[in-house]
């Protein structure tokens, strides 16, 4: 850590853009999108900034050069710089901004915590600087969950825009929150997707409305256990002002709301894919209705939208996401008609329950976004007889529950991924009669060949699935695992599936 004496700095006064940020000594850990935007913001605020990242890739070198152009900043790239806190002009840093990929046990962050230096994420920084004289102050509605975050935040953005509001989806969804905050026109409302990583490093945010969509085992390696993961997810409800929205079908999420320290007057609002109770949003047959934000909610409900207006196929989890998005928008004050327009206009995009082809009464579905068992469970439950293409980087999760729940619907399982041992064990235990088909493409060593290998594996997987699929089946590529063992992203994995299916159908893939 270097030889220096730390004097703890109280940062409670830093609650607006116009506060005394000048010359504050800050270390930014990580030079990804959020780290870059944090460093850029702090430079604009006049802070003294050092950025540290373990990678000296071309992208990081380019980002470092850009930061040096816009202001005085030191950038330390390479693993030699990530174990100790750097000094700033010979003095200890007063604040560390941690990028989401850096877990609390990382040596530099652990050293900061031990020294009593505050650690924020870019979301905490954005909350602190959101108020600026002459700039519109946006309301925040915040969304987290193991799965469905991006769909829900995009639905919420669509609803707000349908209501005529200037709105943006930001955070983990793509646009860094600090970029949204610094938009010169400002926004009426920001729909903010928050990962458990980001929530870990938040401390003072006080949103208008918040929601946890669902909770399942994920990222246990980063958090050091499932209980820690749940605790970080639950932080989203702290200091919520108007509506703490929870999945009424998940008791452990309702308990998060019950235990949250919300602002006086905040209401607990449930959402469900069943018939809604009092102060809930839910379904009556195929209608999404509101029994939470109307005056006579004891005796009536406001009709929001029919499910067939949202899409041709609306699986249960999509209906659940729509209910959560509607509740967030209604908490803001959006009228039912705008909720309907926004959900009807919503486009789910690629790689999530995406119909790729149908031939010989066999439906081919790309759900490459199903990067864990909880997400794959939702898509498996949407279909009858399934040929399941699955496997990948498992991140230490367990497959017994998902296989046990869906063994009755599996025609066969086609394996992709470099290590499918846990999935195979679950299949042998809970679905012993279901054929397991292993792809036989030989692994290669270098990075370029590995990418080509992934596409070859997917091509074989599609062809093997076609051999066993029968009329009425769905061939579902829902890997229940991350993609990085064979692909650069879930999108590349999904595109490989699409191209392989098109090639199988004899279509031009160019």
CA–CA distances in Å: residue 256 to residues 232, 253, 260, 261: 11, 5, 6, 10
Confidence of residue 454 (pLDDT cuts 50, 70, 90): confident
Say yes or no to pLDDT of 113 above 60: yes
Please report which residue ranges of 164-218 form alpha helices under DSSP H: 177-181, 196-200
- Where is pLDDT greater, at 418 or 93? 93
The Cα 343–Cα 378 span in angstroms is 20
Confidence of residue 110 (pLDDT cuts 50, 70, 90): very high
- Where is pLDDT greater, at 150 or 166? 166
| Cβ proximity of 128 and 204 under 8 Å | yes
Nearest to 88 by CA among 26, 9, 21: 26
In this structure, what is the dihedral angle of CA atoms 422, 423, 424, 428, given to the nearest 10 degrees? 100
Say yes or no to pLDDT of 5 above 80: no
pLDDT digits (tens, 9 = 90+) for 478-502: 999 988 888 888 999 999 999 999 9
* pLDDT given for residue 222 in this prediction: 63
Torsion-angle region of 349 (φ positive above 0: left; ψ -120 to 50: alpha; else: beta)? left
| Cβ proximity of 171 and 123 under 8 Å | yes
- Where is pLDDT greater, at 348 or 448? 348
Can you name the residues that pair with 189 across neighbouring β-strands? 139, 167
Say yes or no to pLDDT of 4 above 50: no
CA–CA distances in Å: residue 201 to residues 169, 232, 233: 20, 9, 11
First-residue to last-residue Cα distance in the chain? 54
User: Phi, psi at residue 45, to the nearest 5°?
Assistant: -75, -10
CB atoms within 10 A of CB 294: 15
- Where is pLDDT greater, at 2 or 462? 462
Say yes or no to pLDDT of 306 above 90: yes
Say yes or no to pLDDT of 164 above 90: yes
Per-residue tokens: 34: 């959020």
For each of the domains in the chain, give its residue range(s) and CATH number, in order of start: 25-120 (3.40.50.720), 135-345 (3.40.1190.10), 354-503 (3.90.190.20)
Mean of the per-residue pLDDT values of the chain: 90
Which position has the token pair 């894919």?
Answer: 273
* pLDDT given for residue 62 in this prediction: 95
Lowest mean pLDDT among 71-75, 94-98, 255-259, 362-366: 71-75
Say yes or no to pLDDT of 445 above 60: no
* pLDDT given for residue 219 in this prediction: 59
* pLDDT given for residue 510 in this prediction: 39
* pLDDT given for residue 509 in this prediction: 41
Nearest to 274 by CA among 262, 263, 253, 288: 288
pLDDT digits (tens, 9 = 90+) for 15-45: 999 999 999 999 999 999 999 999 999 999 9
Say yes or no to pLDDT of 416 above 50: yes
Confidence of residue 209 (pLDDT cuts 50, 70, 90): very high
Express as a percent the part of the chain with pLDDT over 90: 74
Per-residue tokens: 292: 């939470």
pLDDT digits (tens, 9 = 90+) for 383-394: 889 999 999 988
Confidence of residue 2 (pLDDT cuts 50, 70, 90): very low
Task: State mean pLDDT over 393-410.
Answer: 91
Q: Pairing relation of β-strands 362-366 and 354-359?
A: antiparallel
pLDDT digits (tens, 9 = 90+) for 176-206: 999 999 998 899 999 999 988 899 999 999 9
* pLDDT given for residue 147 in this prediction: 83
Nearest to 321 by CA among 214, 164, 161, 190: 214
Q: What is the largest CA-CA distance in the chain?
A: 73
Task: State mean pLDDT over 462-487.
Answer: 94
| Cβ proximity of 161 and 332 under 8 Å | no
């Amino acid at each position: 850590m270097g030889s220096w004496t730390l004097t703890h700095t109280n940062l409670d006064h830093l609650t607006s853009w116009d506060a005394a940020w000048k010359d504050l000594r800050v270390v930014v850990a990580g030079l990804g999108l959020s780290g870059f935007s944090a460093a850029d913001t702090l430079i604009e605020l006049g802070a003294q900034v050092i950025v540290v990242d373990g990678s000296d890739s071309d992208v990081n070198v380019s980002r470092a050069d850009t930061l040096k152009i816009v202001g005085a900043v030191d950038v330390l790239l390479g693993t030699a710089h990530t174990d100790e806190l750097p000094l700033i002009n010979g003095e200890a840093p007063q604040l560390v901004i941690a990028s989401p990929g850096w877990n609390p046990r990382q040596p530099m962050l652990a050293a900061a915590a031990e020294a009593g230096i505050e650690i924020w994420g870019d979301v905490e920084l954005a909350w602190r600087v959101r108020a600026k004289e002459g700039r519109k102050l946006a309301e925040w509605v915040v969304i987290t969950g193991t799965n469905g975050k991006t769909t829900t935040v995009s639905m919420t953005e669509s609803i707000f825009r349908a209501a005529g509001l200037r709105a943006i989806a930001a955070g983990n969804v793509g646009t860094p929150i600090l970029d949204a905050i610094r938009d010169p026109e400002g926004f009426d409302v920001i729909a903010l997707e928050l990962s458990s990583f980001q929530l870990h490093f938040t401390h003072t945010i006080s949103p208008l409305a918040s929601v946890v969509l669902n909770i399942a085992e994920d990222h246990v390696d980063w958090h050091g256990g499932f209980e820690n993961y749940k605790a970080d997810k639950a932080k989203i409800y702290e200091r919520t002002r108007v509506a703490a929205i929870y999945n009424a079908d998940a008791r452990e999420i309702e308990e998060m709301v019950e235990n949250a320290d919300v602002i006086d007057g905040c209401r607990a609002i449930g959402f469900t894919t069943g018939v809604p109770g009092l102060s809930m949003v839910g379904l009556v047959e195929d209608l999404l209705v509101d029994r939470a934000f109307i005056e006579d909610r004891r005796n009536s409900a406001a009709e929001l939208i029919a499910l067939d207006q949202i899409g041709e196929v609306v699986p249960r989890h999509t209906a659940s996401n729509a209910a959560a998005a509607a509740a967030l928008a209604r908490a803001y004050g959006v009228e039912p008609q705008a909720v309907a327009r926004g959900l009807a206009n919503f486009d789910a995009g690629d790689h999530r329950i995406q119909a790729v082809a149908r031939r010989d009464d066999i439906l081919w579905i790309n759900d490459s976004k199903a990067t864990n068992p909880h997400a794959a469970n939702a898509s498996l439950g949407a279909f009858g007889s399934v040929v399941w293409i699955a496997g990948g980087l498992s991140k230490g999760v367990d497959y017994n529950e998902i296989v046990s729940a869906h063994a009755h619907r599996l025609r066969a399982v086609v394996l992709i991924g470099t290590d499918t041992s846990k999935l195979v064990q679950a299949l042998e235990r809970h679905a012993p009669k279901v054929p397991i088909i292993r792809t036989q493409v030989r692994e290669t060593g270098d990075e370029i060949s590995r990418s080509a290998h992934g596409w070859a594996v997917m091509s074989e997987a599609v062809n093997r699935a076609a051999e066993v699929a029968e009329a009425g089946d769905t061939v579902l590529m829902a890997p229940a695992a991350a993609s990085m063992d064979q692909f650069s992203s879930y999108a590349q994995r999904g595109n490989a599936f699409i191209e392989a299916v098109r090639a199988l159908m004899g279509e031009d893939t160019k």
